[in-house]
């Protein structure tokens, strides 16, 4: 999505507070992340730790919370601004607590942290393994490989897609196919323009409009982009994942004077490959 200058959205305090349960760990809310985060936040008092009397220990936590509540969700032509600072909140939260001297057996926070870390790494490795298994058996991935296998090397292509088709709901990540066009670069040593670099501006993203015509818009399969914004004159191929039929896309591209030479070259499942004979 492209965010124009002047757009500003800042959620309320209640929403931001509830989001502290998952944004330090994940971009979306999952109930088991909420439980895990709540358990980690409650671990210090449950393990016999007490808040420190040293006010300097609170400075970083208060500073990170001030940033969290002050910054917007959308602003400066980008999104997910305050959420990026959520990672610091649980870290600085632990700095507030210190062990108290007490008789009897007491679990050490270091032991708990090491145990939690080992469990987290094990869970992550299982997720990675599971992803590999699911990707290997995915018909969408097989269709993509079939399309890329027919493409010549060292061409400049543009990947386009529909937001609700960036994932298929069967894998364990969100938007698994968001950057699949980049695999053409890996396999065929070409240049695939589909990237977050061509999306809305961010400090870590390339913003050269001369390299990405239609900057901020050209990655979406919609009527306005295909008929008015998209410039096909620099691309040898358009690699598209869409639910639209080839005929529907062709009619939209034909209405664009800079894309009316593009023709369907290959279809495999929901992946469509359009070739531009004028750029070969």
Among 31-45, 147-161, 243-257, the minimum mean pLDDT is found in 31-45
pLDDT at 186: 86
Kindly report, residue by residue over 27-77, the tens digit of the pLDDT. 777 666 777 778 888 888 887 888 999 999 999 999 999 999 999 998 877
Average pLDDT of 15-21? Answer: 90
- The whole model's pTM is what? 0.67
Q: Strand pairing of 78-79 and 49-51?
A: unpaired
11: tokens are 């959620």
Adjacency order of strands within the sheet including 263-268: 191-192, 156-161, 237-241, 271-275, 263-268
pLDDT at 201: 43
Q: Are 77 and 200 in contact (CB under 8 A)?
A: yes
Among 35-44, 80-89, 99-108, 240-249, the minimum mean pLDDT is found in 99-108
pLDDT at 167: 67
Among 175-184, 189-198, 257-266, the minimum mean pLDDT is found in 189-198
Q: Are 206 and 8 in contact (CB under 8 A)?
A: no
246: tokens are 């080839």
pLDDT at 198: 45
pLDDT greater than 70 at residue 180: yes
The rounded distance, in Å, linking the Cα atoms of 102 and 248 is 73
pLDDT at 196: 53
* pLDDT bracket for residue 222 (50, 70, 90): confident
Q: Report how far apart, in Å, the C-alpha atoms of 268 and of each of 3, 91, 226, 273 are.
A: 33, 47, 21, 9
pLDDT greater than 50 at residue 150: yes
Report the mean per-residue pLDDT for the chain: 81
Average pLDDT of 182-197? Answer: 78
Helix (H) or strand (E) holding 75: strand 74-75
Average pLDDT of 116-131? Answer: 78
The rounded distance, in Å, linking the Cα atoms of 94 and 112 is 13
pLDDT at 88: 92
Contacts of 135 (CB under 8 A, 6+ apart): 141, 171, 176
pLDDT at 197: 46
Helix (H) or strand (E) holding 89: helix 88-95
């Amino acid at each position: 999505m492209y965010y124009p200058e002047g757009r500003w959205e800042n959620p309320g305090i209640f929403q931001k507070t509830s989001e502290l349960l998952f944004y330090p760990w994940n971009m979306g809310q999952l109930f088991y992340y909420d439980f895990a985060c709540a358990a980690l936040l409650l671990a210090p008092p449950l393990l016999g730790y007490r808040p420190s009397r040293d006010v300097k220990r609170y400075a970083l936590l208060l500073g990170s919370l001030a940033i969290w509540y002050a910054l917007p969700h959308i602003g400066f032509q980008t999104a997910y601004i305050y959420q990026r600072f959520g990672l610091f909140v649980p870290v600085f939260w632990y700095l507030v607590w210190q062990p108290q001297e007490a008789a009897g057996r007491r679990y050490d926070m270091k032991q708990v942290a090491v145990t939690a870390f080992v469990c987290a790494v094990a869970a992550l490795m299982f997720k990675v393994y599971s992803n590999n298994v699911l990707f290997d058996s995915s018909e969408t991935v097989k269709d993509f490989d079939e399309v890329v296998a027919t493409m010549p090397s060292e061409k400049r292509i543009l990947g386009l897609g529909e937001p609700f088709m960036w994932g298929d709901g069967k894998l364990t990540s969100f938007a698994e196919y968001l950057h699949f066009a980049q695999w053409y670069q890996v396999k065929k040593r070409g240049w695939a323009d589909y990237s977050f670099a061509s999306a809305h501006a961010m400090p870590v993203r390339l913003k050269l409009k001369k390299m990405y015509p239609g900057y901020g818009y050209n990655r979406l399969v919609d009527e306005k982009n295909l008929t008015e914004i998209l410039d096909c004159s620099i691309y040898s191929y358009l690699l598209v994942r869409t639910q639209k039929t080839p005929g529907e896309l062709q009619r939209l591209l034909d209405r664009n004077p800079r894309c009316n030479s593009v023709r369907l070259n290959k279809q495999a499942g929901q992946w469509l490959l359009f070739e531009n004979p004028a750029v070969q």
